[in-house]
């Protein structure tokens, strides 16, 4: 095994917790997801984010290292009638080619976000949007932050736009 491969973080180091639907809606609104977008959800879990994006007319890519989550997401997308608009990938999100994404959605951890940040900035086109539920990107200042209240908890959602100051 090469040293670079050994150094790559392996998921699921992040505990699975689905974003409440009110947060998912805020993520869609913050990124202004629309037809023509390609939305990647890294660590897609049950697929609720890619389903919401597909319902808005976007194409979506659901990436999860857990094959059971990918199967659950596929079934949920089928039930929602949007499976043809979603690509499902059972792979490590650190191995995912992000160059086709216009929007990347995250609900991972601060450490995962910091590790992904250089790749996001390198692989995404200017104007691409990155949205994270709860976790910042270190010292990368968000373009916008919204707060969503759900069941007595305050959820922060952050937006970064590639190439904006």
Q: How many residues are recorded in the chain?
A: 165
Across 3-12, 15-24, 111-120, the highest mean pLDDT is recorded for 111-120
Residue 157 belongs to some domain of the structure: yes
Per the structure, the count of domains in the chain is 1
pLDDT above 60: residue 11? no
Question: What is the average pLDDT score of the chain?
Answer: 92
Give me the mean pLDDT over the 7-13 stretch: 48
Question: Radius of gyration over alpha carbons of the chain, in Å?
Answer: 15
Q: What is the pLDDT of residue 30?
A: 98
Question: How far is residue 117's CA from residue 13's CA, in Å, rounded to a whole number?
Answer: 17
Q: What is the pLDDT of residue 88?
A: 98
Q: What is the pLDDT of residue 165?
A: 60
Task: Give the list of residues 6+ apart from residue 147 with CB closer than 8 angstroms, or none.
Answer: 154, 155, 156, 157
Residue 87 belongs to some domain of the structure: yes
Residue 22 belongs to some domain of the structure: yes
Residue 4 belongs to some domain of the structure: no
Q: CATH no. for residue 77?
A: 3.40.50.150
pLDDT band at 1 (very low <50, low <70, confident <90, very high): very low
Q: What is the pLDDT of residue 131?
A: 98
Does this model's pTM top 0.85? yes
Structural domain including 42 reads 18-161
Residue 113 belongs to some domain of the structure: yes
Percent of the chain with pLDDT over 70: 92
Three-state SS string across the chain, please?
CCHHHHHCCCCCCCCCCCCCHHHHHHHHHHHCCCCCCEEEEECCCCCHHHHHHHHCCCEEEEEECCHHHHHHHHHHHHHHCCHHHEEEEECCHHHCCCCCCCEEEECCCHHHHHHHHHHHHHHCCCCCEEEEECCCECCECCCEEEEEEECCEEEEEEEEECCCC
Residue 2 belongs to some domain of the structure: no
Residue 12 belongs to some domain of the structure: no
pLDDT band at 153 (very low <50, low <70, confident <90, very high): confident
How does pLDDT run across 27-75, given as a tens digit for each residue? Answer: 999 999 999 999 999 999 999 999 999 999 999 999 999 999 999 999 9
Residue 9 belongs to some domain of the structure: no
């Amino acid at each position: 095994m090469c040293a670079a491969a050994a150094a790559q973080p392996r998921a699921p180091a992040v505990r699975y917790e689905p974003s409440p639907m009110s947060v998912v809606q805020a993520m869609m609104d913050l990124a202004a997801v629309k037809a023509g977008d390609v939305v990647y959800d890294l660590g897609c879990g049950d697929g609720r984010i890619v389903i919401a994006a597909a319902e808005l007319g976007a194409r979506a890519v659901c990436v999860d290292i857990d094959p059971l989550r990918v199967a659950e997401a596929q079934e949920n997308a089928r039930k929602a009638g949007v499976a043809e608009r979603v690509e499902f990938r059972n792979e490590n999100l650190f191995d995912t080619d992000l160059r086709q994404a216009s929007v990347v959605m995250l609900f991972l951890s601060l450490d995962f976000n910091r590790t992904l940040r250089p790749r996001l900035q390198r692989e995404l086109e200017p104007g691409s949007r990155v949205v994270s539920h709860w976790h910042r990107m270190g010292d990368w200042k968000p373009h916008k932050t919204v707060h969503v209240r759900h069941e007595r908890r305050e959820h922060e959602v952050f937006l970064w736009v590639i190439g904006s100051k």
